[in-house]
A and B are shown apart, each in its own frame.
Chain A
Amino acid sequence: MSSNQMRTGKPETFTYDDEIVKKFVIATLLWGAVALLLGVTIAFQLAEWRFNFEIPWLTFGRLRPLHTNAAIFAFCGNAIFAGIYYSHQRLLKSRLFSDVLSKVHFWGWQLIIVSAALTLPFGITTGKEYAELEWPIDILITVIWVVFAVNFFGTIIRRRERHIYVAIWFYIATIITVAVLHIVNSLEFPVSFTKSYSLYAGVQDALVQWWYGHNAVAFFLTTPFLGLMYYFIPKAVNRPVYSYRLSIIHFWSLVFIYIWAGPHHLLYTTLPEWAQTLGMVFSVMLWMPSWGGMINGLMTLRGVWNKVRTEPSVRFMATAVTFYGMATFEGPLLSIKSVNAIAHFTDWIPGHVHSGTIGWNYMLISGILFYLVPKLWNTELYSKKLAHQQFWLATFGLVLYIVSMWVAGITQSLMWRAMDDAGRLIYPNFIETVIKIVPMYWVRAIGGTSVLISFIIMMYNFYRTIKQASVKEETIYEAYALDASSIEAHASAHRKLEGVPMIFSVLSLIAILVGSGIEIIPSLLADKYIVKVSAIKPYTPLELHGRDIYIKEGCYTCHSQTVRPMAHEVVRYGKASNAAEFVYDHPFQWGSKRTGPDLARAGGKYPHMWHYKHFWDPREMTAGSIMPRYHWLFDQKLPYTGIPAKMRVMQKLGVPYTDQQIASSIDDAKAQAKTIADELAQSGVPAKLAEMEIVSLIAYIQRLGIDYGSVPDEPAQEEK
């Protein structure tokens, strides 16, 4: 402890702000329950569609974004802030920079969450996964994140400990990278207060989105939690961290490599192949850096494994790190092209994600809370027995979840690709492959319920714990003010770097900008590699509005719009997709999961009447379908007057609409709606249909793939 013993100078006394930590702890518990309840709800909806009670804002497409946002930003977000604010002060021997900023941070973040809950279920969404919140909320997130950053770095400036501990390295990387990701991915042009279009289109939008989406996992669900692990595991077991050297290597390699891996979400798409390959190989190289964190976490438990049996906090954290190891092995595996070809678009992916979010995040948060709550409220945990019951329920539920999704994903994928000797699909009807795995959806829903119950048990346990809290006099801490006496002349280079956190932060920023720049900048100069196809025209005004309905209803949560270059996909859906098809798609709608079939070639496949009946009740056309009914689209008037404003924004974003087209857009949309309605009227559909939203959605679906379909089959345009 030489660094402390040698210190001289002015001793100072100070206190820590634990009230703000308590607030974030309570918020974590409340939003955690909400996130899990939403997850269980939509899990049951996949098993039995009627669980949406035919209420628009309870349908899967609307609630799934709310579930993911609640789990990531509300549950994990509040937990991160609680853990960071608790440990940051103690690691730096300094009270948080500003009590006011802490409060603004807390209430601002809760406001963001409430705003999400009041917009997403009502279809106010940008249609970009994990970034669905509309532009006013995006701005609010940016402001609150800056408040957090000022509070965080302000505390660093006022620190009494010269060197920053590894936990803080991870916090720094988190704060910087999340800011960059959020701002770049959220660039959008407002149409109104509740509607905007992404600045990027098609392939570019996909690349930016998955650079963001993947790194939301990396820098919101991984790096801050690794930081928390580095603080709370050694604190909980009173053991030194296993290897400082490993901390350095795995921190820098993780931060540098993670940012490149986004394109592994876009393998076999029309993203240029060099970017896909980069996404894959960097994922493979990421395996060991990820495991570096696991090794340091688990090896710190050396000699105290008995505490896993007796101490709930240790038990949960050790399990979390184990699941982290599993998920970070599965991730690189899934990134290998030939494995991804099987797993992508299937339930294997949600299974993988939940081994991370439940296995790693929920478990680690529980472990941290079992450590924190008794300390913060100056009491003993109410019941270890309940904590252990919670543990077993959560583990049981998670295993059911993971295994059922492996079975469902692999089964369905093999059915999709099965072909006979005549070159025909053995399961040409997509629905056959859905019906086959519905039993697994039930198993998953039961697993999820078990996890939810485990969480409620924890809430009760903490409720009883906090109820028996005793008033604690505020502890006064003492430390030397930071002065020259803490400079270590002969320290290693990295140790010196730890003494200059601002330079450390800049280096982290550079580390994440390298990969980001190399992958994204060439795509922004897209003209170079997207070979234009003249047959591909912008959407008509009616179709454009229909596309917004598609986004609003969250169709992309279950349907993809990209045909991969694989024989079975081309036989099933039609021509493989081409990058030029998406140049007017602000935002892109490729999706990431095929709960239903791909729609890239849906246009003209069925008559209008088919779609009319299918949206009214999918089971009329497809027996056994698990898709919700969209009956409200048959009663909602189509707001024709709003169309010109949308087209004007699209025009600004580079879609070649002429002023003339915009001026006549309302009439054009009405004319197209009438054509569709007239055709439907022949089958006895009421003529008023031309005024309803459903017409625009039918028009949009009927347009998908039409333009590119008219292009004669040639060897697909190479984009190298």
Chain B
Amino acid sequence: MNNTEEKIEVKEDEKHLLLDHNYDNIQELNHPLPSWWNTIWAISIVFSIGYFVYYQFMGGPTLVEEFQTEYSEIIVKQTEFKRKESLFDDSYYQKIIADGGLEKGKEVYEINCLPCHLKDGVGDTGPNLTDDYWLIAKGTPESIYSVIFNGSEENGMPIWSEVISKDEIYQAVSYVMTFKNTFKKGKKPQGEKIVDK
């Protein structure tokens, strides 16, 4: 052994716990396992066994079953909402317009619609909204409301009723109506030509 090693400090009350091994001047005491440590460990093991047995052998709900319960409640709420709100209500629309809907609609448009329909509705990823050709809407507030509310999967239009509020949809409709037949230079016409009577 190297005799320059410092002496190990052993307290009076632990001398009896000192083991006789010495590894490179490291020694070990042999304190008993702390009782709180034993207790918590035992509890964690009992809990774990119980948990595993309950969920794997005693018919505890699986994650998928728990999800299905949770999800069916959401579906009920969504269906109720759609039933109530998917129909266009002209008097509500007029109220929204009277309430400064156009200005708010511009904001809604800029946050949500701009990436695809661009400024002034000239179209890009989505169709040009300034011409008199229409893909699914018919150029009426009612039909535009329906397209925004329900989306169009084949045309890449999201279901906006899942994203923005009912009022915001009405506001957006009022703003989009201002593009109609402004014939701005933009994306080529798509869909069917619809001339207002």
> B26 to A165, Cβ gap below 8 A?
yes
**A494–B193 alpha-carbon span in the complex (Å):** 89
> B81 to A422, Cβ gap below 8 A?
yes
> A240 to B10, Cβ gap below 8 A?
yes
**A381–B183 alpha-carbon span in the complex (Å):** 79
B contact set with A: CB distance below 8 Å: 1-2, 6-11, 14, 18-34, 37, 40-41, 44-45, 47-49, 51-52, 55-56, 62-64, 66-68, 70-71, 73-78, 80-81, 111, 115-116, 124-125, 153, 156, 161-163, 187
Given A240-B14, A424-B78, 11 additional A-B pairs, CB 8 A: A4-B22, A91-B23, A231-B24, A241-B29, A242-B29, A243-B30, A277-B52, A288-B37, A288-B44, A424-B81, A425-B163
A residues within 8 A CB of B77?
421-423
A residues within 8 A CB of B8?
234, 238-240
B residues within 8 A CB of A477?
1-2
> B67 to A576, Cβ gap below 8 A?
yes
**A302–B9 alpha-carbon span in the complex (Å):** 10
22 sampled A-B residue pairs with Cβ under 8 A: A165-B26, A166-B28, A235-B24, A240-B27, A241-B27, A243-B31, A245-B31, A246-B33, A277-B51, A281-B48, A282-B48, A287-B40, A295-B34, A304-B9, A419-B74, A565-B67, A570-B71, A571-B162, A576-B67, A605-B156, A607-B156, A622-B115
The yes or no answer to A268 lying at the interface (CB within 8 A) is: yes
Known interface pairs A241-B28, A423-B74, A428-B163; A292-B47 also in contact (CB < 8 Å): no
**CB-nearest residue of chain B relative to A280?**
B51
**A287–B28 alpha-carbon span in the complex (Å):** 24
**A718–B32 alpha-carbon span in the complex (Å):** 48
> B125 to A683, Cβ gap below 8 A?
yes
B residues within 8 A CB of A606?
125, 156
* Of A240, A571, A621, the contact of B74 (CB 8 Å cutoff): A571
**A303–B80 alpha-carbon span in the complex (Å):** 69
> A424 to B52, Cβ gap below 8 A?
no
**A27–B111 alpha-carbon span in the complex (Å):** 51
The yes or no answer to A107 lying at the interface (CB within 8 A) is: no
> B29 to A90, Cβ gap below 8 A?
no
> A292 to B37, Cβ gap below 8 A?
yes
> A244 to B56, Cβ gap below 8 A?
no
B residues within 8 A CB of A285?
41, 44-45, 48
A residues within 8 A CB of B52?
277-278, 281
The yes or no answer to A291 lying at the interface (CB within 8 A) is: yes
* Of B2, B29, B37, B70, the contact of A475 (CB 8 Å cutoff): B2
> A288 to B162, Cβ gap below 8 A?
no
The yes or no answer to A163 lying at the interface (CB within 8 A) is: yes
CB distance from B17 to the nearest CB of A (A): 8
A residues within 8 A CB of B7?
238
> B71 to A277, Cβ gap below 8 A?
no
**A429–B168 alpha-carbon span in the complex (Å):** 15
A residues within 8 A CB of B2?
475, 477
**A284–B42 alpha-carbon span in the complex (Å):** 11
CB distance from B79 to the nearest CB of A (A): 8
> A621 to B115, Cβ gap below 8 A?
yes
Instruction: Name which of B62, B70, B81 has the most chain A CB atoms within 10 A of its CB.
Output: B62
**A609–B187 alpha-carbon span in the complex (Å):** 13
> A90 to B37, Cβ gap below 8 A?
no
CB distance from B125 to the nearest CB of A (A): 4
**A581–B24 alpha-carbon span in the complex (Å):** 57
* Of B6, B31, B56, B156, the contact of A277 (CB 8 Å cutoff): B56
**CB-nearest residue of chain A relative to B60?**
A277
A532-547 residues with Cβ-Cβ distance < 8 A to B are none
B residues within 8 A CB of A607?
125, 156
Known interface pairs A243-B33, A282-B48, A289-B41; A610-B125 also in contact (CB < 8 Å): yes
**A627–B107 alpha-carbon span in the complex (Å):** 25
The yes or no answer to A566 lying at the interface (CB within 8 A) is: yes
**A570–B69 alpha-carbon span in the complex (Å):** 13
> B26 to A425, Cβ gap below 8 A?
no
B residues within 8 A CB of A284?
44, 47-48
**CB-nearest residue of chain A relative to B155?**
A607
> A268 to B28, Cβ gap below 8 A?
no
> B37 to A609, Cβ gap below 8 A?
no
* Of A4, A90, A567, A610, the contact of B71 (CB 8 Å cutoff): A567
The yes or no answer to A386 lying at the interface (CB within 8 A) is: no
**A381–B7 alpha-carbon span in the complex (Å):** 22
> B26 to A287, Cβ gap below 8 A?
no
CB distance from A612 to the nearest CB of B (A): 9
**A423–B28 alpha-carbon span in the complex (Å):** 62
> A242 to B81, Cβ gap below 8 A?
no
**A640–B96 alpha-carbon span in the complex (Å):** 56
> A273 to B56, Cβ gap below 8 A?
yes
Known interface pairs A242-B31, A683-B124; A718-B62 also in contact (CB < 8 Å): yes
